Structure 1
Amino acid sequence: MGADTLLDGFSGHAEQHRRELHVHCYRMLGSFEDAEDTVQETFLRAWRGRETFEGRSTFRAWLYRIATNACLDLLAKRRPEPATGGEVPWLQPYPDRLLDELPAGAADEPETATLGRETIELAYLVAVQHLAPRPRAVLILRDVLGWPAKDVAELLGDTVNSVNSALQRARAGMRAHLPAERQDWTGGDEDAGTRDLVRRFTDASVATDIPALTAMLRADVRSSMPPTPGAYFGREAVLHSWLADGYEGMTGLRAVPTAVNRQPAVAYYHWRKSEGAYLPLTMDVLRITGGRITEIYIFDADQFPRLGLPAGLPADGTE
């Protein structure tokens, strides 16, 4: 795309890349809301600097450069330090229905599609948030987007050697926060066994059947509830956190299956007699490995509208 063509229809050209830029910023920031703000900032910066686009790179690459720098600027202001201890208080889910808006093309290739799915899962997002901002940007640009080292160096105003060194550090950091084997941290394609486990987990959760839930958790299961501080590691710790919150014996629950970050999820609603309806409570996002649940992220009801979930469920006659 030439510079003259860009000036003739800037908004239309930019909007074509909105979803992929949003996902890129989401990987960098871990927050859906911050990604929204950063994409808006990206378009504002691009508009102001539109006359500087000379066509030496693609318009898409030019926008990615602006977006990456906008993310780095935000991280410097809001989060000068990366996440620690396996928890990310600012983590927010990303609805699958919006991921479906990503452009096709190379994503249709099996290896590329698998990479895209793995790098949007919450386990990956959490690990990325434990990296310092610049190595994080290098990792995403090199390993997710496939940019050459020289292009990343130009974007960051650095040398190719420095970029390669940062990539090595970032990969080492990711290995420290992800299970050793790829199949241990990605649920992969959903099969009949996964669907059955999610169904049984949902039924047991609505019934607050602690023994049944315990049998579905792997011994090294992890759980967190962003933005509430605290991450729980191991089956006993996770169960203890549920019991401490008064979950056992809770009644009046209903569930709606959904999916976020290419992972199965269950949205829960709680009966409110005063409202005469089931109102949003929490949502569990699951990671499943080898027929057991290995990770549970619990998000508050304030995420429901963005995820396209109902604002409430009507009475079903059992109340």
Structure 2
Amino acid sequence: MMGADTRLEELGVSGLGEVDEAAFSRLVERHRRELHVHCYRMLASFEDAEDTVQETFLRAWRRRETYQGRSTLRAWLYRIATNACLDLLAKCRPEPATGGEVRWLQPYPDRLLDELPAGDADDPEAVAVARETIELAYLVAVQHLAPRPRAVLILRDVHGWPAKDVAELLGDSVNSVNSALQRARAGLREHLPAQRQDWTGGEPDAGTRELVRRYTEAGVATDIAGIAALLRDDVRCSMPPTPGLHIGRDAVVADWTASGFEGMAGLRPVLTYVNRQPAVAFYHWREQEGAYLPLTIDVLRITGGAITEIVTFHGDRFPGLGLPERLAADGAE
């Protein structure tokens, strides 16, 4: 999961204090995407992660004299980024999520995840961890952990940091870090589907693609019964930042019916991938503008040939996901 890294000896300097601002920027920018994804795992908000990466680079520049090469530049930046996340959480979200929903959850487009360094691409377990720990089910579960155990879990289980390095970052003992990790793993299991294979999407197969096609067609037709036939009995449905988590097919169908979804005309879909999961962006025809404008995007989790979870985001997420701002009547962007 890590890309190329840099040590001081490779730069021919004894400290970052000898590097000018332009050179410093080039050094840290190569780590922007992976730092952004790290902060996103900590915060579950794409926008907060962006702000935190900027804060990380600002802190790194101000503290560049403190980096003497005892660790890699990447590790040093991860330490700063993690602490910046903890500072933001202490200020803005002192309490973890509760009740199975995360109202500040935002999607992460696959096109940006593809920018991550190849890292351990030949290690199937590492690839699986990278994919699974960016899925929305994982992010929601992690947000139910207190910030410091959350940081321990992500650094140890996602990035593979040794306990002593995590302890140094947090100013804690190795025993405390190991204890926090066990508590965090237990807390994570409480909020994840029962089996690991039940919450990983994996590479989409023909069955998954067919299910997405049927969901898309039923969605365009606003055929609630058709969609319901594709849902697992214990399906979960949420729409952050709107409050409310609906669990079970009957509850989900009742919510859609009450919202007036059935009979809505003039929808057009665009298929995409978000958080390594299939997603369907729906556009709604607006006569006044003479175009289809963003409505919602449904991110799907599919298990055993049925839809297990739908997380719906509002149309204001479309630009950040690289989706067109409008579709013309003839379907052109």
| Global fold match (TM > 0.5) | yes
1:276 matched to 2:319? The reply is no
Residue 53 of structure 1 is matched in structure 2 by 67
Q: Distance in 2 between matches of 1:140 and 1:224?
A: 24
1:129 matched to 2:143? The reply is yes
Whether contact under 8 Å (2:281, 2:297) holds in the other structure is yes
Residue 253 of structure 1 is matched in structure 2 by 267
Q: Distance in 1 between matches of 2:194 and 2:99?
A: 18
How far apart are 1:172 and its partner, in Å?
0.4
Q: Distance in 1 between matches of 2:60 and 2:120?
A: 26
Residue 181 of structure 2 is matched in structure 1 by 167
Residue 242 of structure 2 is matched in structure 1 by 228
1:73 matched to 2:87? The reply is yes
Residue 201 of structure 1, aligned match among 203, 206, 215: 215
How far apart are 1:284 and its partner, in Å?
0.1
Q: Which moved more, 1:180-189 or 1:73-82?
A: 180-189
Question: What CA deviation, in whole Å up to 9, does each residue of 1:106-150 have, x standing for no partner?
Answer: 134211111100000000000000000000000000000000000
Q: Does the C-alpha gap of structure 1 residues 281 and 246 become closer, same or farther in structure 2, counting only changes over 3 Å? A: same
Q: Distance in 1 between matches of 2:155 and 2:47?
A: 21
Q: Distance in 2 between matches of 1:67 and 1:178?
A: 26
1:31 matched to 2:45? The reply is yes
Q: Distance in 2 between matches of 1:210 and 1:105?
A: 43
Q: Distance in 2 between matches of 1:28 and 1:11?
A: 24
Q: Which moved more, 1:259-268 or 1:106-115?
A: 106-115
SS in 2 for 1:104: coil
How far apart are 1:244 and its partner, in Å?
1.2
1:214 matched to 2:228? The reply is yes
1:181 matched to 2:195? The reply is yes
How far apart are 1:180 and its partner, in Å?
1.6
How far apart are 1:179 and its partner, in Å?
1.3
How far apart are 1:5 and its partner, in Å?
6.5
SS in 1 for 2:55: helix
Whether contact under 8 Å (1:139, 1:167) holds in the other structure is yes
SS in 2 for 1:12: helix
Aligned pairs for 1:307-318 (under 5 A) are: 307-316=321-330
1:155 matched to 2:190? The reply is no
Question: What CA deviation, in whole Å up to 9, does each residue of 1:258-293 have, x standing for no partner?
Answer: 001000000000000111111100000000000000
SS in 2 for 1:54: coil
SS in 2 for 1:306: helix
Which residue type is aligned with residue 158 of structure 2?
A: V
1:90 matched to 2:104? The reply is yes
SS in 2 for 1:107: coil
- TM-score normalised per structure 1: 0.98
Residue 4 of structure 2 is matched in structure 1 by none
What is the aligned length?
317
SS in 2 for 1:92: coil
Residue 242 of structure 1 is matched in structure 2 by 256
Residue 295 of structure 1, aligned match among 300, 303, 309: 309
SS in 2 for 1:64: helix
Residue 35 of structure 2, aligned match among 21, 40, 46: 21
Structure 1: segments with no counterpart, 5+ residues: none
Q: Distance in 1 between matches of 2:131 and 2:267?
A: 31
Q: Which moved more, 1:124-133 or 1:239-248?
A: 239-248
How far apart are 1:195 and its partner, in Å?
0.4
SS in 1 for 2:118: coil
SS in 2 for 1:281: strand
Whether contact under 8 Å (2:152, 2:181) holds in the other structure is yes
Q: Distance in 2 between matches of 1:214 and 1:31?
A: 29
Whether contact under 8 Å (1:107, 1:116) holds in the other structure is no
Moved over 4 A (4+): none
Q: Distance in 1 between matches of 2:106 and 2:122?
A: 26
Q: Distance in 2 between matches of 1:310 and 1:38?
A: 27
